[in-house]
Structure 1
Amino acid sequence: MNQPLFDKRQVADSFGRAAATYDQAAAFQRRVGHNLLARLPAGLQPQALVDLGCGTGYFTRALASHYGRPVLGLDLAEGMLRHARQQPSLPPAAGWVAADAEALPLRSASQDLLFSSLALQWCNDLPQALAEARRVLRAGGIMAFSTLVDGSLVELRDSWQQVDGYVHVNRFSPRQSLQQMLEASGFAEVHCEIETHVMHYPQLSGLTRELKALGAHNINPGRPGGLTGRARLQALTAAYEAFRTDRGLPASWQVAQILLKQEA
Structure 2
Amino acid sequence: MSSNAPIQVDKKALAQAFGRAAKQYDHFAAFQRTVGEQLLAHCDWHKPGLLVDAGAGSGWFSRYFRGQGHCVTAFDLSSGMLQQAVQQHSADHYVRGDLEAFPFLAQSVDYLWSNLALQWCSDFRQTVQQLQRSLTAQGKLAISTLAAGSLPEIEQVWQRLGRSAPINRWSSAESLLATAESLGLTAWQAPIICHFSSPLDALWSLKGIGASHLHAGRQAGLGGRAFFHQLADHWPRDEQGYRLTYQIVFGVSR
Please, what TM-score do these two structures have when normalized by structure 1? Answer: 0.87
**How many Å separate the matches in 2 of 1:192 and 1:176?**
10
**SS at 1:147's partner residue?**
strand
* Contact 1:102 1:126 survives alignment (8 Å): no
Aligned match of 1:56: 58
Find out whether 1:37 has 2:35 as its counterpart.
no
Distance 1:193 1:234, change over 3 A: same
Write out per-residue CA displacement over residues 143-175 of structure 1, whole angstroms, 9 at most, x where no aligned residue: 101111112111111111223443401222211
Deviation at 1:83, TM superposition (A): 1.1
Structure 1 residue identity aligned to 2:190: E
Q: Which residue in 2 is equivalent to 1:71? A: 72
Q: 1:150 to 1:173 in 2, by over 3 A?
A: same
For normalisation by structure 2, the TM-score amounts to 0.91
Q: Is it true that 1:10 corresponds to 2:13 in the alignment?
A: yes
Q: Tell whether the 8 Å contact from 1:52 to 1:75 is kept in structure 2 after alignment.
A: yes
Kindly provide the CA deviation profile for residues 196-255 of structure 1, in whole angstroms up to 9, marking residues without a partner as x: 221111210111111111111141316513553234334444321xx2222221111111
Q: Which moved more, 1:160-169 or 1:117-126?
A: 160-169
| CA distance 1:217–1:69, shift in 2 (3 Å) | same
Q: Secondary structure at the match of 1:217?
A: coil
- SS, match of residue 180 in structure 1: helix
Residues 180, 251 of structure 2: 8 Å contact kept: no
**1:141 CA drift (Å):** 1.5
Task: Confirm or deny: 8 A CA contact 1:148 1:172 kept in the other structure.
Answer: yes
Instruction: Decide whether the 8 Å contact of 2:6 with 2:123 is kept in 1.
Output: no
Counterpart mapping for 1:103-122 below 5 A: 103-122=101-120
Following superposition, the deviation at residue 47 of structure 1 comes to 2.2
What is aligned with 1:81? Answer: 82
The aligned amino acid for 1:86 is Q
1:246 corresponding residue in structure 2: 239
In structure 2, what is the Cα distance between the partners aligned to 1:40 and 1:200?
27
| Corresponding residue number in structure 2 for 1:178 | 176
Flag structure 1 segments of 5+ consecutive residues without an equivalent.
Answer: none
Call closer, same or farther: CA 1:6–1:158 in 2, change over 3 Å: farther
AA aligned opposite 2:223: T
Partners of 1:167 and 1:251 lie apart in 2 by: 14
Q: 1:106-185 alignment to 2 at 5 Å?
A: 106-185=104-183
Determine the C-alpha separation between the residues in 1 that align with 2:202 and 2:150.
13
Q: Give me the whole-angstrom Cα distance separating, in 2, the residues matched to 1:256 and 1:33.
A: 12
Over the aligned positions, Cα root-mean-square deviation in angstroms equals 1.9
The answer to whether structure 1 residue 204 and structure 2 residue 199 are counterparts is yes
Matched letter for residue 209 of structure 2: L
What is the CA deviation profile of residues 15-67 of structure 1, one whole-angstrom value per residue up to 9, with x for unaligned ones?
Answer: 1110100001111111111221221026x52522100000001101101112x
Do the aligned partners of 1:52 and 1:73 also contact (CA within 8 Å) in 2? yes
SS at match of 1:12: helix
Cα distance in structure 1, aligned partners of 2:63 and 2:237:
37
Provide the secondary structure at the position in 2 that maps to 1:56.
coil
Question: Do the aligned residues in 2 keep the contact of 1:166 with 1:224 (CA within 8 Å)?
Answer: no
Q: Tell me the distance in 2 between the aligned counterparts of 1:193 and 1:204.
A: 29
After TM superposition, the runs of 4+ consecutive aligned structure 1 residues lying more than 3 A away are 2-5, 234-237
Residue 113 of structure 1 aligns to a residue in which SS? strand
| Aligned residue type for 2:82 | L
* Post-superposition CA distance 1:118-155 (Å, at most 9, x none): 11111111111112112111112111011111121111
